[in-house]
Structure 1
């Protein structure tokens, strides 16, 4: 059974494309490209068509992630197309729940923080690094690497079932 995961942040230029890039690499390393599909979107469409923020791309490439995604706003059809819609913070989680066309669609929405392990167990969201310096982008990548690894483990267990 194919699983489709959509990562969502506000503008789809920092956190969600980074999560998409990390998850793509994890999926490829696990040999699951034909089983798990990954994409990202934003709840705000003002950056539509843009590449991820240059600072995020620089930080990601140092870790071996190639972020080529073009920003897009989430669409109603995404709620039908994806099995899991992962919000980076509470504001985007709430926006996704308001946008969802049905209760069933709301059930697909979760928070990235749900997949944090011990290193970030005290965190309830992925902070937006847009207004921060280099360290903010590095911290977000650290958090997303942990969260994506745990999310992949959960998805793998569903696939095996």
Structure 2
């Protein structure tokens, strides 16, 4: 089996990219960001060129579906998810090309846990938001509207990120 981004995973001379969205528990923000990016790829006919997933830094929600409020928002935007919460692994650092945290704490933990040999680009997803503000705020203690805000910021950030990668691929 080819790893994301490896020569074996390339088809039709298009390189397969990979991205992992990470928040603390893989219960609120990261599944919504994963859903937003997957929808964007599907709408553009690019799903086969990407490996997309999400994970948490903790094991609090391993084995659980995303938060019901997040699933409600995703359903509103015609996003189907079958994601089951999982914790980030050392292999993720080695296999994913891009790893996005949602806030500074996520970023710090991602960088401090990075194993030797990892070439993953680790950034805040919100750093790509054309409207500014690097952090995608934790929505766990909010209502459905907080999850909608996470979705909107994630979608803006994902659109800008995807355009950046497509522009880079053309050069």
TM-score (norm 1): 0.92
More helix, by proportion: 1
How far 1:106 moved relative to its partner? 6.7
Tell me, which stretches of 5 or more residues in structure 1 are unaligned? none
CA contact 1:97–1:106 (8 Å) conserved in 2: no
Rounded Cα–Cα distance in structure 2 between residues aligned with 1:50 and 1:159: 36
C-alpha offsets along residues 111-150 of structure 1, whole Å, 9 cap, x if unaligned? 11211012xx1x2200111101222111111111101111
For 1:126, the equivalent position in structure 2 comes to: 136
Corresponding residue number in structure 2 for 1:14: 28
Q: Does 1:75 align with 2:89?
A: yes
Identify unmatched segments of 5+ residues in structure 2.
Answer: 1-14
Report the counterpart of residue 105 of structure 1 in structure 2.
Answer: 118
Aligned to 1:153: 163
Larger radius of gyration: 2
Partner-residue secondary structure (3-state), 1:44: coil
Cα distance between partner residues in 1 of 2:142 and 2:67 = 12
Q: For 2:50 and 2:169, locate their aligned partners in 1 and report how far apart those are by CA, in whole Å.
A: 9
Shift of 1:107: 5.4
- Is the CA contact (8 Å cut-off) linking 1:8 and 1:16 kept in structure 2? yes
Tell me the secondary structure at the aligned position of residue 146 of structure 2.
Answer: helix
Q: So what's the TM-score if we normalise by structure 2?
A: 0.87
- 114, 117, 120: which one aligns with 2:130: 117
Aligned mates of 2:44, 2:145 — CA distance in 1: 29
Equivalent residue pairs, number: 157
Moved >4 Å (runs of 4+) = none
Bigger shift: residues 87-96 or 30-39: 30-39
Contact 1:5 1:82 in 2 (8 A): yes
Secondary structure at the residue paired with 1:71? coil
Could you say what the CA RMSD is over the residues aligned between the two structures, in angstroms? 1.4
State the partner residue of 1:135: 145
Matching residue of 2:62: 48
Q: For residues 130 and 159 of structure 2, what CA distance do their matches in structure 1 show?
A: 10
2: distance between equivalents of 1:40 and 1:80? 15
